[in-house]
Amino acid sequence: MPDLTARAPLFLSILRIVAALMFMQHGLQKHFGFPQAMPGPLNAQMWIGGWIEILGGLLLLLGLFTRPVAFILSGMMAVAYFQFHMASGGYHPILNHGELAALYTFVFLYFVFAGPGPLSLDAKLRKTA
């Protein structure tokens, strides 16, 4: 079997890009009804969270300020899990429908430590500095 370790940085970038695109959809749904409008009105916390999802997702997509943005997004998803999922549906993510929030929490936390990967504006700026 070939050693895949050399490809890890490239796939770190791919994971970041895919996670950002998926994450941004939550904010786009809240504010622009894309790809489908959310049922019911937004409360203030959901309105703010939607903009954080869009703007934070965009920064993560570009790989710009990746570590601090990922830290904020990880914290936001941890709060979402405990406040919206665990508080109303119990501990188990599969039962409280919080598995996506829990997964985002740890994927974003991984980016805090691993960085953006080579396909990022952070990497490009680091080379020019």
Q: What is the pLDDT of residue 108?
A: 98
Q: What is the pLDDT of residue 128?
A: 85
Q: What is the pLDDT of residue 91?
A: 86
DSSP state, residue 37: P
Q: What is the pLDDT of residue 78?
A: 97
Write the pLDDT tens digit of every residue in 42-64. 899 999 999 999 999 999 999 99
Q: What is the pLDDT of residue 86?
A: 87
**Which amino acid is present at 75?**
G
Asked whether the beta carbons of 110 and 86 are under 8 A apart, the reply is no
For residues 35, 37, 42, 44, the Cα torsion angle rounded to the nearest 10 degrees is 20
**Which amino acid is present at 56?**
G
Tell me the whole-structure pTM to 2 decimals.
Answer: 0.92
First and final C-alpha spacing in the chain: 38
Question: Mean pLDDT per 10-residue run, the chain (129 residues)?
Answer: 92 98 96 90 93 98 98 97 88 91 98 98 91
Q: What is the pLDDT of residue 100?
A: 95
The owner of tokens 């430590």 is: 113
If phi > 0 it is left, if psi is from -120 to 50 it is alpha, else beta; for residue 68 that is: alpha
Q: What is the pLDDT of residue 28?
A: 97
Q: Coil, strand or helix: which one is 94? A: helix
Look at residues 109, 84, 79, 78 and name the one whose alpha carbon lies nearest to residue 97.
Answer: 84
Q: What is the pLDDT of residue 32?
A: 95
Q: What is the pLDDT of residue 40?
A: 85
